[in-house]
Chains A and B, each alone.
Chain A
Amino acid sequence: MAGTWVFVEQRDGNIRKVTYEMLSQAKKLGDEVSAVVFGKGVEALAPEFAKFGAEKVYVVEDDVFAAYNTGAYVAQIIAMINEFKPNAVFFAHSFNGRDFASRLAQKLDIGLATDAIGVELSAGKGVFTRSIYAGKVLTKVEITTSPVLATIRPGVFEVADGAAAGAVVKPAVAAAAGDVYQTVKSFVATVSARPELNEAAVVVSGGRGCKGPEGIALVEQLADMLGAAVGGSRASIDSGWLGHELQVGQTGKVVNPNLYIAAGISGAIQHLAGMSSSKFIAAINTDTEAPIFNVSDYGVVADLFKVIPTLMSELKK
């Protein structure tokens, strides 16, 4: 039994940042790290994983893996787990990653720690920190079933360079068209020039205090100036100012940026659940009593319609 595997999160060859975060963190844990990638035309990506610590890159290419599908992916990884016996396998806690890991865990009749924000590994054992009850409680869960399985929250671990061999290994294809039981009819990418919420270094969010599309436009301008993602409170999503995929909070996305700017957001507990672990938090709110100030590193009690324009011209200086 050896090694930690990181399952690569990619779509059409575009690697998501969480893959590098997982590789970097896995490397810190000491055991040999391998990347595992399924798809079509993905072998060319192997050097990318070597840069962040992958000693080996397991590449499996076949038409059946062109897009993520539970049946074929699970069949393939089970065959590989049986052959190579990794100590631990990490997946991204993402739309596909959590489906993959949960299905795999159940098929193997074993445990799984999902949405981990802390990882400790030793031979045959993993201890994972999870943030539960919308960030109000931390828990440590121990996995002793084999292999140790976990999904890792995006945006938590630092990406660190760690050149490694990245030797390509090509296991036999162990899945066929008959394993597929979901048909992806379409995937329409959200068209945005901005980074994704859970990958962005800076997030600027607007709430009901933006009062409408004009206020949101200010939030967007500030975001673009900072190369930031735009987010919103449920109030601005429910008002139709922003798409639902941009909601931050308990029933939206959990973000972990270096800087989170809340403009016209009161700081309801359900909103805080999605952003309070950001490294720095700034708040712009007219109400000095707004609870968002209790979690802010830098709060300004003022009208966002006046603050944001000045802020932008000052930042440009």
Chain B
Amino acid sequence: MKVVVCVKQTFDTEAKIELKDGKISDAGINLIINPYDEVAVEGAIQLKEKGVATEVVVISAGADKAMDAIRTALAMGADRGILVTQDTAADEYARAVALAAAIKGENPDLVLAGHVAADDGASQVPTRIAEILGLPHVNVITAIEIAGGKATCTSEADGGTQVTEVAVPAVISSQVSWNEPRYPSMKGIMAAKKKPVATVAAAAAENKTKIIEFSLPPAKQAGIKLEDEPEVVATKLADWMKNTVKVEVK
């Protein structure tokens, strides 16, 4: 069984964002694999270790530097990579078209992705890819079992846990609680350098949406901070909750 994993390169979650010429500046920003996609890569590698998957292919659409995200996934244990070179201003539609075209050529049995990207994530791309490829999609999974041409997925849904069954091939998107991604070993990092990565140009697709502006939200002003005996501050906090916030007490 061949598994393709979609990995997006994103800013480190600690990154401080600055705008330059009205755009988000990536100067000096540490780039990582989107945390959800890292979990998807780990999930794919575990499927291979269990003998369910035979090959794990990682795919990323973006600028040349997205190669680093691919190499990291290879160092974790993926077998090969595909870099789809595309303007990072491509919207969810254009990215899905480009990724789906490249995935189609691989004819995979399973496509894994993250359920949202931690940067400008929209929770759209995997669903759109599934639609383009005519495959079912299951979202926000925390467990998966594959047997008899079917994937049985446990998802974190609103207000509960849902178990969904779909035929494979299918597109499946991860929740972070699915697994704990491994750190690449030194050996893995060395091996990754020799693993094949194909670079292909993105299939042409025009954006369907237009970004009008970026802005930074007004910095939140720190309010009152009290240092005193616990009983004293607790009483004052209670007063504030009653008089300013106007909480209802049961």
User: Which A residues are within 8 Å of any B CB, using their own CB?
Assistant: 11, 16, 70, 93-96, 98-99, 102-103, 105-107, 109-115, 127, 130-145, 181-190, 196, 202, 224-227, 244-245, 250-251, 258-259, 269-270, 273, 276, 280, 282, 284, 288, 293-303, 306-311, 314-317
Interface of B is mostly: mixed
Asked if B198 is at the interface of the complex by the 8 Å CB criterion, the answer is no
8 residue pairs, one from A and one from B, having the closest CB atoms: A111-B208, A314-B238, A306-B230, A102-B127, A310-B234, A106-B131, A297-B223, A300-B233
Q: Is the CB of A181 within 8 A of B245?
A: no
What 5 new A-B contacts, CB under 8 Å, besides A113-B209, A115-B123, A181-B166?
A109-B208, A188-B162, A270-B13, A297-B224, A315-B247
Does B183 belong to the interface (CB within 8 Å)? no
B residues in contact with A284, CB < 8 Å: 237
Whether B249 lies near A315 (C-beta < 8 A) is yes
Q: Is B216 part of the contact surface with A, judged by Cβ < 8 Å?
A: yes
| B-chain residues with CB within 8 Å of residue A130 when the two chains form the complex | 120, 122
Contact between B224 and A299, CB atoms less than 8 A apart: yes
User: Chain B residue with minimal CB distance to A190?
Assistant: B160
Chain B residues near A227 (CB-CB < 8 A): 248, 250
A102-B128, A137-B216 are contacts. A310–B231 as well, Cβ < 8 Å? yes
Please list the residues of chain B having a beta carbon within 8 angstroms of any beta carbon in chain A.
11, 13-17, 19, 24, 35-36, 91-93, 96, 118-124, 127-128, 130-132, 136-140, 142, 152, 155-167, 175-177, 207-217, 220, 222-231, 233-242, 244-245, 247-250
A interface, over-half SS: mixed
A residues in contact with B165, CB < 8 Å = 182-183, 185
What residues on B are CB-neighbors of A140 within 8 Å? 211-213
Residues B223 and A112 in contact, CB atoms below 8 Å apart: no
Q: How many contacts between A and B, using CB within 8 angstroms? A: 260
Are the C-beta atoms of A141 and B136 separated by less than 8 Å? Answer: no
Q: Which chain A residue has the least Cβ–Cβ distance from B231?
A: A310
Q: List 25 A-B contacts (CB under 8 A).
A: A95-B157, A98-B124, A102-B123, A102-B131, A105-B128, A115-B122, A134-B13, A138-B217, A139-B213, A181-B136, A182-B136, A183-B166, A185-B164, A226-B250, A244-B156, A250-B118, A259-B245, A296-B222, A296-B225, A297-B223, A298-B240, A300-B234, A302-B230, A310-B234, A310-B235
Instruction: Please determine whether B123 and A187 come into contact, CB atoms closer than 8 angstroms.
Output: no
Distance of A172 Cα from B155 Cα, bound (Å): 32
* CB contact under 8 A between A112 and B119, given known A226-B250, A299-B224, A311-B238: no
Pair A142/B160 contact, Cβ less than 8 Å: no
Neighbour of B121 across the interface among A132, A181, A297, A300, CB < 8 A? A132
CA distance A145 to B24 in the complex (A): 25
Query: Could you tell me if A139 and B159 are in contact, using CB atoms closer than 8 angstroms?
Result: no
How far is A245 from B35 in the complex, measured between Cα atoms in Å? 17
| B139 cross-chain contacts in A, Cβ below 8 A | 95, 98-99
Which residues of the partner chain A approach B229 to less than 8 Å between Cβ atoms? 302
Residues of chain A with a CB closer than 8 A to B16's CB: 136
Are B212 and A142 neighbours in the complex by a CB distance under 8 Å? yes
Q: What's the least CB distance linking A313 to chain B, in Å? A: 9
- Which residue of A has the minimal Cβ distance to B121? A132
B226 contacts A301, C-beta separation under 8 Å:
yes
Among B14, B223, B224, find the residue whose CB has the most chain A CB atoms closer than 10 A. Answer: B223
Whether the pair B245, A280 counts as a contact (CB closer than 8 A) is yes
A295 lies within 8 A of B122 (CB): no
A196 touches B131 (CB 8 A): no
Taking a contact as CB atoms under 8 Å apart, the answer to whether A307 and B214 are in contact is no
Whether A269 contacts B123 in the complex (CB less than 8 A), given A139-B214, A225-B250, A310-B230, comes out as: no
Contact B120 A196 (CB under 8 A): no
Docked Cα-Cα span, A183 to B93, in Å, equals 27
Question: In the complex the two chains form, is B163's CB within 8 Å of A184's CB?
Answer: yes
Q: Determine if A106 and B230 form an interchain contact, defined as CB atoms under 8 angstroms apart.
A: no
CA distance A207 to B211 in the complex (A): 37
Kindly list chain A residues whose C-beta atoms are within 8 Å of the C-beta of B230. Answer: 302-303, 306-307, 310
Quick check: A103 and B137 within 8 Å, CB to CB?
Answer: yes
CB distance from B169 to the nearest CB of A (A): 12
